[in-house]
């Protein structure tokens, strides 16, 4: 009886050690199995806090999620002049539809697409829209354009992980995928009453 009691904690420790060992091996593999090519350098293989915390089938506990989200929220750059939606929705449409940029075959990190249509429906006339994210058809028509909605949307575009630490959505502003001006164009695409998204 005593022996069993002694063995049980030992077995648990061994299990935890094995799991940590496996994690370390995987992290190592995710570096050694890759090579730098063009703008896709090897530091892309090293995980930041968010990537590390969101690399299992289940999200971290609520307290961890909240802590991570607060840290991400602090990274958001709000427009200094308060101009959130003054972009050109037609430019926004181009950014939303383009999924180009940041692969090892892209020469320069400039002028990336937002890849919005990869995952979201926006203009109902565009049938080739993905379904990984929620439909954004009628975005401002349904939600209105209150300061709260506008600010949330800017923040979500800049760093989606501020609102859901393990969101599938890339951190467009924080990750330098899109520039501030590009995000403003996408904002116009979502909020301008003339945009097909709101027709």
- Binding region for other proteins (CB under 8 A) out of 6-14, 29-37, 71-79, 183-191: 29-37
How far is Cα 31 from Cα 42, in angstroms, rounded to an integer?
Answer: 7
Using an 8 Å Cβ cutoff, are 142 and 153 in contact? no
Residues 6+ apart with CB under 8 A from 115: 98, 99, 170
How far is Cα 147 from Cα 88, in angstroms, rounded to an integer?
Answer: 19
Smallest gap from Cβ 193 to other proteins, in A, equals 27
* Two structure tokens written together for 168: 């599938």
Smallest gap from Cβ 122 to other proteins, in A, equals 12
Question: Using the rule CB under 8 A, is 36 a contact of other proteins?
Answer: yes
Question: Using the rule CB under 8 A, is 179 a contact of other proteins?
Answer: no
Among 8, 13, 20, 51, binds other proteins (CB under 8 A): 51
Nearer to other proteins, 45 or 75 (CB): 45
Tell me the angle at which helices 180-191 and 89-97 cross, rounded to the nearest 10 degrees. Answer: 100
Can you give the length of the chain in residues? Answer: 199
Question: Using the rule CB under 8 A, is 98 a contact of other proteins?
Answer: no
Nearest-10 Cα torsion for 108, 109, 111, 113: 120
Smallest gap from Cβ 67 to other proteins, in A, equals 18
Smallest gap from Cβ 120 to other proteins, in A, equals 11
- Contacts with other proteins, residue ranges (CB under 8 A): 22-23, 25-26, 29-30, 32-37, 40-42, 44-47, 50-52, 54-57, 99, 102-105, 117-119, 127-132, 161, 168, 170-171, 175, 177
């Amino acid at each position: 009886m005593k022996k069993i009691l002694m063995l049980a904690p030992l077995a648990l420790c061994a299990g935890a050690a094995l799991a940590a060992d496996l994690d370390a091996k995987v992290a190592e593999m995710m570096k050694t199995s890759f090579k730098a090519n063009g703008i896709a350098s090897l530091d892309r293989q090293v995980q930041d806090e968010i990537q590390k915390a969101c690399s299992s089938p289940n999200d971290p506990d609520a307290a961890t999620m909240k802590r991570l989200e607060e840290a991400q929220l602090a990274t958001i750059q709000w427009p200094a002049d308060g101009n959130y939606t003054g972009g050109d929705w037609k430019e926004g449409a181009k950014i939303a539809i383009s999924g180009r940029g940041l692969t090892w075959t892209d020469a320069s990190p400039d002028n990336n697409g937002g890849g919005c249509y990869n995952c979201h429906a926006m203009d109902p006339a565009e049938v080739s829209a993905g379904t990984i994210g929620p439909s954004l058809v009628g975005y401002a028509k349904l939600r209105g354009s209150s300061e709260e909605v506008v600010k949330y949307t800017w923040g979500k575009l800049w760093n989606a992980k501020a609102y859901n630490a393990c969101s599938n959505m890339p951190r467009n502003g924080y990750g330098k995928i899109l520039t501030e001006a590009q995000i403003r164009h996408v904002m116009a695409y979502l909020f301008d009453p003339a945009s097909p998204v709101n027709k």
